[in-house]
Structure 1
Amino acid sequence: PLPPSPHSPLSSARLLIIDDDAVLTEQLELEAIAWGLQVEVTNNLTAARVAIASHPPDIILLDLSFPDPEENGLTLLSQLSEQKSKIPVLVFTGQNQLSSRVEVARLGAYSFLQKPISPTDILKAVTVALNEPKEAKVMVVDDDPELLEFLSALLQPWGLQVTTLADPQRFWEVLEAATPDLLILDVEMPGYSGIELCQVVRNDLRWSQLPILFLSAHTEAQTVQEVFSVGADDYIRKPIVESELIARVLNRLERSPLRRELATTRKLEAENTLPP
């Protein structure tokens, strides 16, 4: 197989390895350099924090077990999860308890890799993570300009690229130009309703799997049933609760069939970019 292209994410990406197993980290470092990565290794969490603060990496490999009885890899993972600028963290550990897996997932790690695992398989996982789209794209359609401004300001700090549209008449041209990963529609708008726009999207094979969330002040069962009957994935009532909207948007993006399909494609590409 061909080595990574000099234009691939691997050719300039910085990998931080945090593990106190000197033999394993040496093997990983040599392998990662052969893949074109810039590598830094730390054997404790204090040094890792310094490295992250001084020169943030593009991706982190984190073990969970360290000699310090006061903290472990989960401590650092929790701290990283609170930062708005997210660095993908791949946990690789000898622990295999369900409780550890649940905690790692809850703290937002990109993946859980079970030791023993070969350096090649670890770097395949790194490649997939580096090829993930850095910004998910969200399109919001609502005839209220103030709400559009509010939603844009709310979602952008979470690493989302937001396209807003107040005129439903321009919906199709903006949809095709923006190519969103998720669509948010108001139910009632002049010209075309959100329900009609949802039907149009679902009738096109290119967009049939696009996650669609509806916004509406209406809470009656008939409206809720109607939006789900035309293919909505979720329904959020106005006035909007900020934390609820963010959680639902991020959840839908994570579960999006389009993004899962892209991740599968990236995994196959990674398997074909092994160095000789």
Structure 2
Amino acid sequence: MPHLDHAGASLFYTLDGPDSAPVLIFSNALGTDHTMWAPQAEALRGQFRILRYDTRGHGRSTLPPGPFTVAGLGGDVLALMDALGIREAAFCGLSMGGLTGMWLGVNAPRRFTRLVLANTAARISTAASWNTRIDGVLRGGMASLVAASVQRWFTPAFASAAGAGLDGLRAVLAGLDARGYAANCAALRDADLREAVGAIPVPVLVIAGSADLSTPPAAGRALADAIAGARYVELEAAHLSSFEQPARFTDALRDFLGAEASAGGDAGRRQESVSVSG
């Protein structure tokens, strides 16, 4: 299995699709791994060379010694790109992956053609809530989080209808090292990009879920408003909108990533607000 050793961690990744196709990088949400993107990878692998990876402390990627920040998460992406000879790519991240994408857009914009920031915010939750979650998982282990996480990730109707179809995600979450989960919670607790995201010069699509309690639509709209020319799409879903509405999420990706880059910088970019129902 392919791994890259970087900054004290061993990063697991997969790279699929035509060698000559443009590269699209997917970054997972907290408590998941690269498999959360299976619907999008399957649908888009003929059009893109798709790089998926497990964020440090998740899935098959190990946890580096000591604490880290969202800058470390962004640095992992750049290290993967450098090691694989990827000069530039489009990027799609959800929740924690979205914050990673924001950092990349601010600090390494020349490496990215377009950014998709899904179910995320420039500041997610409060320090107190993150500290409570960190204390809880270090005391009770990952099993203590599974039921509450699934309730946050999906609408009740979808979770009920999906049934055993969510067992894979449950197993990934339950199998994580509690220390890795807690370390990423701490990185999210300390991340505040509200003052920085306005400097992102890369075309951006913000995707929100109408029933997302973790990063509500208002947070998605605020993020889109802060980035000149950003597009905004709202899906009828909760936090893991890519999994709850895979076809509509993928259609939004395909439409945004397939569009020709506009000329003239910000003057040629337009802000869109689209509500997509089930």
Bucket of the pairwise TM-score, normalised by the shorter protein: 0.3 to 0.5
* Bigger Rg, which one: 1
Q: TM-score, normalised by structure 2?
A: 0.37
* Structure with higher RCO (Cα < 8 A, 6+ apart): 2
Q: TM-score, normalised by structure 1?
A: 0.37
